[in-house]
Amino acid sequence: MSDQKISKKTWSSYEDALLLSLIEEFGVSGSWPLISSKIGDRTGKQCRERYYNHLKPDITKVTWTLEEDALLLQSQHEMGE
């Protein structure tokens, strides 16, 4: 097992900005270990997940519409849990 320290703390604005800057420089295809080595105590997996789940520009984080809620409930009723 690795002795590498893994940070479980909340991402700071500085880390987010640094991550985006490194992604702009190195890209996202296979660069996660390199990117994480430049950030410090974050793993490649943490960097990848932070980008794809929170920072990627095309992520939509809006509240679902009533129609979307109704469709979800209808589909769940039809297909089961």
Give the CATH number, domain containing residue 60: 1.10.10.60
Looking at residue 7, its pLDDT comes to: 65
46 with 59: CB under 8 angstroms?
no
The whole-model pTM stands at 0.69
If you search the block for the tokens 């997996």, which residue do you land on?
45
* Alpha carbon distance 9, 2 (integer Å): 19
Looking at residue 1, its pLDDT comes to: 44
Tokens found for residue 78: 């039809």
Report yes or no on 24 lying in a domain: yes
Q: Tens digit of pLDDT per residue, the chain (81 long)?
A: 455 556 678 999 999 999 999 999 999 888 999 999 999 889 999 999 999 999 998 888 889 899 999 999 999 999 976
Looking at residue 43, its pLDDT comes to: 94
Report yes or no on 5 lying in a domain: no
Domain that holds residue 30: 13-79
